[in-house]
């Protein structure tokens, strides 16, 4: 892939994105990790640790980067947006902070989209933490769909347009990521914008699992196959679970549940992805807050037909465009369509209220809020167990651990309990008290395996606090091509021109 040159992409007649030649950076520079959701923006700022800067030797037990601060912007599409800003305890002493630096869910009327959200963050960073834009040397962007890009890429004209073309396959995320990339390139012209793809982790999936039973000539021409998603999260989890179990990650067989408003399951054999529930797009697999998950492909035609039932009468048919199908299945389905809420915590509360009424001898009607939440909860649990059972067989029962992660996986005591209860026949057990108190236990990985099951040969049950921003920053730190060599400033060493260095720092697609 060519390095970033002084070229531009014209999006609209009056909108041009200018790309720049960027050299490798000094190790004193900062790394910004950006995770753009459909209506949110998560940002983390890191610096290389002193020991890593001096030795450039990654330790198996520590990260090469130190977290300085985090920021979170929510409700971007339904103003007023909410802005949060928090400085890491370990870094506060080394930063020049203004009084009352922390911000928690402050309403900000000036935030209208992802670009203005990013601009607000940069202004706040300067005014409250005295960190200027010129100190940021690399910006890492989480991109949900990378297509056939299997490695991180520096954003240039070609890679930007490639990601833009893939937006149709990840409509809830790729567009937001592109908006932030554009804002970064404009606001931080001296920094490398680097795209990290959720699909990269799944490049190890075998053809027989990744392929669909359709004409392969057409499939290969159009790239129609299973790609898989949440890859940055899974890469982080495999490494952290390996550390926790004191095992080389290449020896690990795991079933990992990344459960959030977007949810997936991954079957990991020898530290690599063997299969995952999402497919060509994030729509397949488990249901989510607004996604349907796996359905019969013909359902959408029945769903939109004007007749009370499916009819081949052309007068009753509705022409279903891709955009209509995507809108229904991506944005108007999931547990929101079943219950009216996207908050899984509310679904759990409704389910518990239903069960309490049944125990008391009542039978809530199917149209009650409690019954709707019960259906949504049981449906989600059922679909998770479908994948877990399948992946257990694919690993031939050789499973080192079942791992819960993501916002729901890390916080829902009830769902963890019910999933492990459903897996008791496979030899999994859960520590009830440990499960209830997992939130109060420090560390990245928390074990909730039942006491009688916990030994070196047992099937462990773990909770992993995944961190996609840290995973991107870590990978950036470990790429020597992104940093000026230590001996570049030593006497007698020729320092190459920026453009020549930029050619060396390019990341091949």
Residue 439 burial (CB count, 10 A) = 12
Structure tokens at 349: 């509360």
Cα–Cα separations (whole angstroms), residue 500 to 8, 108, 497: 20, 43, 5
Cα–Cα separations (whole angstroms), residue 304 to 325, 327, 339: 9, 12, 21
The answer to whether residue 198 is catalytic is yes
Q: Which helix (H) or strand (E) holds 336?
A: helix 334-339
Beta strands at 254-258 and 153-154: parallel, antiparallel or unpaired: unpaired
Q: Are 430 and 450 in contact (CB under 8 A)?
A: yes
- C-alpha 367/C-alpha 249 separation (Å) is 48
Q: Are 285 and 277 in contact (CB under 8 A)?
A: yes
Structure tokens at 321: 């465009």
- C-alpha 95/C-alpha 91 separation (Å) is 7
Kindly tell me the sign of the dihedral angle through the C-alpha atoms of 257, 343, 465, 55.
positive
Structure tokens at 110: 């000036």
Structure tokens at 212: 């669909």
Residue 187 CB-density burial (10 A; 0-12 exposed, 13-18 middle, 19+ buried): middle
Catalytic choice (22, 63, 198, 400): 198
Residue 99 burial (CB count, 10 A) = 5
Question: Of 262, 153, 256, 263, which Cα lies nearest the Cα of 200?
Answer: 153
In sequence order, what are the residues at sequence separation of 6 or more whose Cβ sits closer than 8 angstroms to the Cβ of residue 136?
A: 29, 30, 31, 32, 45, 188, 191
What are residue 192's DSSP bridge partners?
Answer: 138
Q: Which helix (H) or strand (E) holds 50?
A: helix 50-55
Phi, psi of 55 (to 5 degrees): -105, -25
Q: Are 484 and 452 in contact (CB under 8 A)?
A: no
- CA 219, distance to chain mean position in Å, is 26
Place of tokens 């002493």: 93
Q: Are 95 and 130 in contact (CB under 8 A)?
A: yes
Strand order in the sheet with 445-447: 272-276, 264-269, 254-258, 401-405, 460-464, 445-447
Active-site residues: which are they?
A: 198
């Amino acid at each position: 892939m060519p390095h970033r040159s002084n070229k531009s992409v014209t999006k609209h007649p009056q909108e041009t994105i200018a790309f720049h030649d960027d050299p490798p950076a000094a190790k004193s520079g900062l790394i910004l990790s950006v995770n753009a959701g459909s209506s949110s923006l998560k940002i983390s700022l890191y610096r290389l640790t002193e020991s890593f800067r001096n030795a450039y030797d990654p330790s198996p037990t520590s990260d090469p980067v130190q977290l300085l601060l985090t920021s979170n912007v929510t409700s971007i599409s339904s103003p007023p947006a909410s802005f949060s800003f928090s400085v890491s305890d370990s870094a506060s002493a080394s930063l020049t902070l203004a009084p009352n630096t922390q911000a928690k869910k402050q309403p900000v009327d000036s935030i209208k989209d992802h670009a203005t959200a990013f601009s607000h963050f940069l202004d706040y960073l300067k005014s409250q933490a005295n960190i200027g834009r010129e100190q940021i040397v690399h910006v890492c962007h989480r991109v949900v769909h990378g297509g056939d890009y299997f490695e991180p890429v520096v954003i240039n004209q070609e890679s930007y347009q490639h990601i833009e073309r893939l937006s149709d396959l990840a409509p809830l995320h790729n567009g937001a990521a592109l908006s932030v990339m554009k804002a970064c390139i404009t606001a931080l012209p001296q920094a490398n914008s680097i795209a990290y793809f959720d699909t990269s982790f799944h490049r190890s999936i075998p053809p027989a699992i990744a392929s669909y039973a359709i004409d392969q000539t057409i499939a290969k021409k159009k790239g129609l196959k299973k790609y898989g998603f949440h890859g940055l999260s899974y890469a982080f989890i495999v490494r952290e679970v390996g550390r926790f179990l004191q095992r080389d990650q290449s020896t690990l067989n795991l079933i990992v549940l990344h459960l959030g408003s977007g949810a997936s399951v991954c079957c990991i054999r020898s530290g690599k992805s063997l299969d995952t529930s999402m497919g060509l797009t994030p729509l397949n697999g488990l249901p989510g807050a607004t996604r349907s998950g796996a359905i019969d492909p013909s359902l959408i035609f029945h769903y939109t037909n004007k007749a009370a039932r499916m009819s081949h009468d052309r007068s009753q048919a509705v022409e279903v465009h891709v955009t209509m199908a995507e809108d229904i299945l991506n944005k108007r389905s999931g547990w929101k369509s079943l219950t009216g809420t996207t908050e899984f915590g509310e679904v759990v509360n409704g389910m518990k209220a239903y069960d309490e009424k049944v125990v008391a001898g009542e039978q809530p009607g199917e149209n009650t809020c409690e019954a709707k939440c019960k259906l949504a909860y049981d449906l989600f649990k059922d679909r998770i167990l479908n994948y877990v059972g399948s992946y257990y067989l694919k690993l031939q029962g050789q499973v080192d651990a079942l791992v819960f992660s993501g916002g729901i996986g890390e916080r829902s005591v009830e769902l963890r309990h019910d999933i492990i209860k459903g897996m008791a026949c496979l030899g999994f057990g859960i520590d009830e008290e440990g499960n209830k108190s997992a939130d109060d236990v420090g560390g990245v990985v928390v074990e909730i395996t039942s006491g009688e099951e916990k030994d070196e040969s047992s099937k462990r049950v773990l909770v992993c606090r995944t961190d996609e921003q840290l995973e991107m920053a870590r990978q950036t730190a470990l790429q020597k091509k992104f940093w000026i060599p230590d001996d570049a400033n030593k006497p007698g060493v020729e320092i190459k021109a920026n453009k020549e260095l930029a050619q060396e720092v390019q990341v091949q697609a």
